[in-house]
Amino acid sequence: MKIVIDWLEQYSDILETLGVVSIVVLTIGAVLSPKLVSMIPVDYFKRDGTEEDQTERKHPVYQFILKVVRNLVGLVVLLAGIAMLVLPGQGLVKLLLGLTLLGFPGKYQLERLIVRQKGVLDGLNWMREKAGVALIKV
C-alpha cells in the first residue's frame, strides 16, 4: 500500500494534468460532436470520394483558409478521439469525425472501415436522432 501511495505522490503532477485533459476532452467532445455529426450528409459514407469539392468554386484565398481551418479542427477532434480510446468518451466516433474534416489520400476508405466497426454507426445515428437529423445508412 505504501508503494502505491508513494507512486501516486511521485506522479501527482502528471496524474492531475491527465485528469484536466480528460475533463477538457470530454467537455469539448460533448459540445462539438453532436454538431459535427449532424452536419455529415446522409449519403456521405456511400460516396466514392471523387465528388467535386464545393470549395473549388470559391476564391482561392477563401478556399485555402477554409481548408486550413477544417484540417486544424479535424486534427483536434482526431487527437481527442485518440485520447478517448483510453479516456472516457466515444473514441471511435471522434476519430471518425476528425477524419471527415481532414483531407488526405485514402480518407474515404479509412472512414468506411471505421464506420463499419461495431457501435460506431449506432453512436453516430444516436447523435443524429437527438439532433432531429436523418439517420446515416451505410
pLDDT tens string 94-116: 888 888 888 888 888 888 888 88
SS (H, E, C) 6-51: HHHHHCHHHHHHHHHHHHHHHHHHHHHHHHHHHHCCCCHHHCCCCC
pLDDT at 68: 92
User: What pLDDT band is residue 54 in, cutting at 50, 70 and 90?
Assistant: low
Of the listed ranges 15-19, 27-31, 62-66, 79-83, the least confidently predicted one is 27-31
> Which residues, 6 or more positions from 118, have their beta carbon under 8 angstroms from its beta carbon?
none
Look at phi and psi of residue 119 and say left if phi exceeds 0, alpha if psi is from -120 to 50, else beta. left
Looking at the chain, the whole-number percentage of residues with pLDDT higher than 70 is 92
Q: Are 128 and 135 a contacting pair, CB within 8 Å?
A: yes
Identify the burial level of 35 via C-beta atoms within 10 angstroms of its C-beta, where 0-12 means exposed, 13-18 middle and 19 or more buried: exposed
HEC per residue, 81-102:
HHHHCCCCCCHHHHHHHHHHHC
Residue 18's nearest CA partner among 72, 76, 87 is 87
Burial 2-32 (b: 16+ CB within 10 A, else e): eeeeeeeeeeeeeeeeeeeebeebbeebeeb
For residues 32 and 76, the model is more confident at: 76
